[in-house]
Chain A
Amino acid sequence: MRLLRIFPDDSKFRFVRWRVLSFPFSAAISVATIVLFLTVGLNYGIDFTGGTLMELQSKSGKADLASVRETAQSFETGEVEVQEFGQGGQVSLRFRIQPGGEPAQSALVTRARAAFEKDYEIRRVETVGPRVSGELVQSGTLGVVLSIVSVLGYLWFRFELQLAIGAVIGTLHDIVLTVGFFLITRQEFNMTSIAAILTIVGYSLNETVVVFDRTRELLRKYKNLPTDELLDLSINSTMSRTVMTATTTALSLLALVLFGGQAIEGFANVMLFGVIICTYSAIFVSSPMLIYLGVKTSTRAAAEEKAALAAKAANVSRRPA
């Protein structure tokens, strides 16, 4: 039986050479994202802005958007977003935060329920007060920062500072581009998006660590290989695994996009994008970065030292036997 093989064996692609293209490309996109972030901004969901979200399902199977909008506007202060989604008369309403603190949000929900109850099934109501939304912004930001710092610490402990920095640069790159995805698609950015970003952080590091683990191993083996060749060798020899894992992960996320339903589709889309970006950045961003981080000398010295120690330890343990 001939089995499936996506990536050829014994490849000798010169991956790191592509940095002349990948670095400017990534830098340009990152800068564009930051500019967009500062000028246009994310489409924050009610988790972060506060406000009220309602999802209605028309009992007759057809939603009258105009009348829903009119009714909603009649008791609401400010703007209200009304959208139809899915098939068969599903409507989502998003109210801004009402002046008058928490009780005012509650009062709005009461009025909205009463107004729509007759013709629509109320599928979901979420109200987030101004205080909670402020805290969610805080904990979301803290989460992303904290994860990067602790991972940096872990990798420093397990690898080398240079490798850790390379991995974290790759991860930052992935976060920025994921935010870019939110900016371009105008997909709502909420607490689930933070979960997606943290998962992408995990996945991105996972990808990079696999390549760097090989780099570390090869450093011990080939002491005189130039850094770029060494990195190419690392990437090539882990490439079939990278492709495999990216494929299986992408396949399951694809199942989530296609069959997971509207409530989870957003998360799945972001993750799918993230997996592609992470795979790209592990190969074309974090790895070539090592050329500039001066990994060669210090890591080699450390690797040699470790090897010497290991040899010594092996000798010692062998003696009694």
Chain B
Amino acid sequence: MLYFSTWKTVAVLALCALGVLFALPNVLPQSVRDAYPSWFPARTVVLGLDLQGGSQLLLEVDGEALRKSRAVALQEDVRRALREARIGTTAITLSGTTVNATLRDPAQLAAALEKLKPLAAPVASSLFGGAGPAEVDVNSRDGNVVTATLSEAGVQARIRSAVDQSLKIVDRRVNELGTVEPSIQRQGADRILLQVPGLQDPQRLKDILGKVAKLEFRLVDLSMPPEQAAASRPPDGSEVLQEDRGGQTVPILIEKRVMVAGEDLTDAQATFSSQDHSPVVSFKFNTKGAREFADATQANVGKPFAIVLDNKVISAPRINEPITGGQGQISGNFTVESANDLAVLLRAGALPAPLTVIEERTVGPGLGQDSISSGTRATWYAAIFVVIFMFATYGVFGLFANIALTIHVVFIFALMSLLGATLTLPGIAGIVLTIGTAVDSNVLIYERIREEFRAGRSMVSSIEAGFRHAFAVIVDSNSTMAIAAIILFLLGSGPVRGFAVVFLLGIVTTVITAVTMTRMMIALWYRRTRPTALPF
């Protein structure tokens, strides 16, 4: 018997009402939505960058650079540990991620191994108190060589934590620039996706993110003229860096040991020098940094020290007196803007490793607006074509299908608003496409009803049989479509993923609207009119 219970009717109508309620904010102006009571659904569909315009950068944490800098640091650690223990070496070399220290006296091998043991401490203890992977493997070979190797697990753990840290720093830097509602997400193992709606030219963003901003205060090594060091080999524990002096770079010999590092800064501001009013960056240390800076300057009065940013010397002033206040100024060849940029970078902190822009996409606001209007137009035309065609073919049944189709589109918008999903240009194409395919379920049912009726069944029994037989094929055909859509969702990114979301939601809602809703309408229509023949 063609029967649709009252509570079911109520449930379907309530669902429709909910759909309309959640979809409604998308067509209301902002002022009306603001006037909503707080419990009222006011979320709208988020427009993708390709529709609202803006810039997107995909950044990659340079794992290779991180690996290298860890290896260099390990070499320094080994050198320092052995020197402290007064264990003589003939060479401490680095090959790949392995440090080889050749001992002068093989008898000291055990002592050296003992001394280097703390380096092999685990990176981080795991959740259950057990030790994580050791970052460094310490070994010996040939009786007089101690080796320290960075473990792969340790490096991977470093990269992971570097990405976490980079996320925070990117966030801080981007916010310092005053950008509106940037979205910063981790992507995959070592990537960061940065989206800034409305941004037209990401050049300044790229400049700010392209710097590591590692600030170090190091002593200048005066034991050898820098030109000679550059030409031959710098003394152990020192290196030749470049200093920018009024447009030309000159070599300068700097100790590798860091007196105080930039992470101990608490504040940095661009100001003007009290002497010659040139732009400078003033900074403040935290307690630890202030103490270290005071100690270092006290011990080296009269000597020059270098302010090193990303392995380039900004300036190398002489220490005239101990600096104990924990404050200072960096002078150099600054313009107002570059002093400002440096202050921003110092406040936000240094990146653990360089970031590379591996993908960049920018859409101007004009193109976005054009895409929205042409997408909307295409959607309307598609709907009109399909609605007319369905009505022309199925009469009043076509009308039911068209009502279901309308609800179907409303549901897509409602679900997308509810989920906070992003609508992209391919997403609009997805909506248009589902308008075409949504009626497929109706067509399957109607054609089956027609077949059953022509085979001699009564009205009621052919409608019943039509729904029953068509249901299996509706499930099968939509499942295969859904499989393709799910895979697209998993593998796609950005706009393509937007298409997959719409397509998938469309498949789900079409089964509800075409099967349940149409059935309800036909049941009500039948009860009212008691027809004896199909209207198509």
On A, residues with C-beta under 8 Å from B are 1, 3-6, 9-10, 55, 57, 102-103, 105-106, 109-110, 113, 121-129, 131-132, 139-140, 142-143, 146-147, 150-151, 154-155, 158, 191-192, 194-195, 198-199, 201-203, 205-206, 209-210, 213-214, 217, 237-238, 240-241, 244-245, 247-256, 258-261, 263-264, 267-268, 271
Complex-state Cα separation, A214 to B426, whole angstroms: 34
Q: Which of B60, B382, B487 contacts A251 (CB 8 A)?
A: B382
Set of chain B residues within 8 Å of A125, measured between Cβ atoms: 360-362
Could you jot down 7 A-B contacts, CB within 8 Å?
A124-B364, A125-B361, A140-B491, A147-B483, A249-B436, A255-B381, A256-B432
Q: Is the CB of A245 within 8 A of B440?
A: yes
**Residue of B whose beta carbon sits closest to that of A193:** B496
- Contact check, A199 vs B360: say whether CB atoms are below 8 A apart: no
Q: Is A251 within 8 A of B476, CB to CB?
A: no
Per a CB cutoff under 8 Å, which of B358, B382, B433 touches A199? B433
Contacts of B367 in A (CB 8 A): 55, 123-124, 263
- Name A210's contact: one of B358, B359, B473, B496 (CB within 8 Å): B473
**CB atoms of A271 and B472 under 8 A apart:** no
Q: Do most interface residues of chain A lie in helix, strand or loop, or is the interface mixed?
A: helix
Q: Which of A150, A210, A248: most chain B Cβ within 10 A?
A: A248
| A238 cross-chain contacts in B, Cβ below 8 A | 447
A residues less than 8 Å from B133 (CB atoms): none
Contact yes or no, A191 B358, CB < 8 A: no
The reply to whether B491 and A129 contact each other, CB–CB distance below 8 Å, is no
Q: Is the CB of A5 within 8 A of B426?
A: no
Task: Give bound CA distance, A9 to B454, whole Å.
Answer: 10
**Contact A264/B433 with A240-B447, A254-B385 known, Cβ cut-off 8 Å:** no
Stretch at the interface among B19-27, B276-284, B319-327, B389-397: B389-397
Binds A, one of B120-128, B165-173, B368-376, B412-420: B368-376
Q: Name the 10 nearest CB pairs between A and B, nearest first.
A: A261-B374, A252-B436, A249-B436, A252-B382, A202-B484, A255-B382, A255-B381, A202-B481, A205-B480, A260-B378
Residues of B within 8 A of A (CB-CB), count: 78
With contact pairs A124-B362, A198-B488 given, residues A248 and B477 touching in the complex (Cβ less than 8 Å): no
A264 and B425 form a contact (CB under 8 A): yes
Q: Which residue of B is nearest A249, CB measured?
A: B436
Instruction: Report A188 CB to chain B, min CB distance, Å.
Output: 15
- Are B495 and A192 in contact, CB atoms less than 8 angstroms apart? yes
A residues near B485, Cβ cutoff 8 Å: 198-199, 202
**Are B385 and A251 closer than 8 Å at their CB atoms?**
yes
Query: Contacts of B378 on A, CB cut-off 8 Å?
Result: 255-256, 258-261, 264
Instruction: Determine if B392 and A3 form an interchain contact, defined as CB atoms under 8 angstroms apart.
Output: yes
The answer to whether A251 touches B436 (Cβ under 8 A) is yes
Given A9-B454, A248-B437, A252-B385, output 10 extra A-B contacts at Cβ < 8 Å: A123-B367, A124-B364, A129-B356, A147-B488, A150-B487, A191-B492, A205-B477, A209-B477, A210-B477, A261-B370
In the complex, how many angstroms separate the beta carbon of A178 from the nearest chain B beta carbon? 13
Number of A-B contacts (CB under 8 A): 237
Q: Which residues of B, 402-448, contact A by the 8 Å Cβ criterion?
A: 425-426, 428-429, 432-433, 435-437, 439-440, 443-444, 447
Look across to chain B and name the residue whose beta carbon is closest to the beta carbon of A109.
B360
Please give the distance in Å from B96's CB to the nearest CB on chain A. Answer: 21
Q: Tell yes or no: B499 within 8 A of A by CB.
A: yes
- Asked if residues A206 and B426 are in contact (CB atoms below 8 Å), the reply is no
- In the complex the two chains form, what is the Cα distance from A191 to B488 in whole Å? 10
> Are A245 and B426 in touch, CB under 8 angstroms?
no
Whether A151 pairs with B496 at a CB distance below 8 angstroms is no
Q: How far, in whole Å, are A122 and B439 apart by their CA atoms in the complex? A: 40
Chain B residue at minimal CB-CB distance from A238 = B447
Q: Does any Cβ of A come within 8 Å of B208's Cβ?
A: no
Proximity bits, B449-493, A CB within 8 Å = 1, else 0: 011001000000000000001001100111111111101100111
Residues of B within 8 A of A247 (CB): 389
The answer to whether A253 and B433 touch across the interface, beta carbons within 8 angstroms, is: yes
Q: In the complex, A238 Cα to B443 Cα: how many Å?
A: 10
Q: How far is the CA of A227 from the CA of B515 in the complex (A)?
A: 32
Residues B382 and A143 in contact, CB atoms below 8 Å apart: no
Q: Which residues of A contact B454 (CB under 8 A)?
A: 9-10
Asked whether B371 lies within 8 Å of A261 as measured between CB atoms, the reply is yes
The answer to whether residues A194 and B426 also contact, given A199-B433, A260-B375 and a CB cut-off of 8 A, is no
Asked whether, in the complex, the Cβ of B429 is within 8 Å of the Cβ of A267, the reply is yes
The contact of A258 among B206, B370, B381, B392, by CB within 8 Å, is: B381
B392, A151: Cβ atoms closer than 8 Å: no
Give the Cβ gap from B258 to chain A, nearest Cβ, in Å.
27
Residues of A within 8 A of B472 (CB): 213
B525 sits at the interface (CB 8 A): no
Once the chains bind, are A250 and B436 in contact (CB under 8 Å)? yes
Complex contact A3–B393 (CB within 8 A): yes
Quick check: is B296 within 8 A (CB to CB) of the other chain?
Answer: no
Contact yes or no, A195 B488, CB < 8 A: yes
Would you give the shortest CB distance from A155 to chain B, in whole angstroms? 7
Highest count of chain A CB atoms <10 Å: which of B395, B428, B436, B488? B436
State whether the Cβ of B92 lies closer than 8 Å to any Cβ in chain A: no
Q: What residues of A have a CB within 8 angstroms of the CB of B364 in the complex? A: 121-124
Are B477 and A249 in touch, CB under 8 angstroms? Answer: no
For the complex, give the distance between the alpha carbons of A142 and B440 in Å.
Answer: 29
Given known A154-B483, A199-B484, contact A253–B432 (CB-CB < 8 A): yes
Cα of A264 to Cα of B425 in the assembled complex, Å: 7
In contact, B436 and A132 (Cβ under 8 angstroms)? no
Complex Cα gap A209–B470 (Å): 12
Contacts of A139 in B (CB 8 A): 491-492
Neighbouring B residues of A124 by C-beta, 8 Å? 361-364, 367
Q: Which of B356, B359, B469, B485 has the most CB of A within 10 A?
A: B359
Instruction: Tell me the chain B residues, 26-43 only, with Cβ under 8 Å from chain A.
Output: none
Residues in B with CB closer than 8 Å to A151 are 480, 483-484
Contact A121 B484 (CB under 8 A): no
| Chain A residues whose CB sits within 8 angstroms of the CB of B370 once the complex forms | 261
| Distance from A142 Cβ to chain B, minimum over Cβ atoms (Å) | 6
Given A106-B206, A209-B480, A259-B374, A132 and B473 touching (CB < 8 A)? no
Complex alpha-carbon distance, A206 and B481, angstroms: 7
Report chain A residues within 8 Å CB of B5: none
Cβ–Cβ contact B429 & A127, under 8 A: no
Does A123 contact B395, Cβ atoms closer than 8 Å?
Answer: no
Q: Which of B60, B428, B473, B536 has the most CB of A within 10 A?
A: B473
CA distance A241 to B382 in the complex (A): 19
* Least CB separation from B500: chain A residue: A195
Tell whether B377 is near chain A: CB-to-CB under 8 Å. yes
Most buried by A among B425, B447, B479: B447
| Most chain A beta-carbon contacts within 10 A, residue among B358, B435, B444, B481 | B358
Q: Which A residues lie within 8 Å of B496 (CB)? A: 191-192, 194-195
In the complex the two chains form, is A256's CB within 8 Å of B382's CB? Answer: yes
- In the complex, what distance in Å separates the CA atom of A3 from the CA atom of B393? 5
Q: Are A252 and B362 within 8 A (Cβ)?
A: no
A256 near B487 (CB under 8 angstroms)? Answer: no
Residues of A within 8 A of B451 (CB): 237
Residue from B479, B483, B495 with most neighbouring chain A CB atoms (10 Å): B483
Is B503 interfacial (CB 8 A cutoff)?
A: yes
The interface residues of chain B lying within 8 Å CB-to-CB of A131 are 60, 358
Question: Is B146 located at the chain interface by the 8 A CB criterion?
Answer: no
Output the nearest chain A residue to B401 by Cβ-Cβ distance. A248
**Are A259 and B363 within 8 A (Cβ)?**
no
B439 touches A256 (CB 8 A): no
CA distance A292 to B12 in the complex (A): 47
> Could you tell me the distance between the alpha carbons of A105 and B476 in the complex, rounded to whole angstroms?
47
- Name the CB-closest residue of B to A201: B484
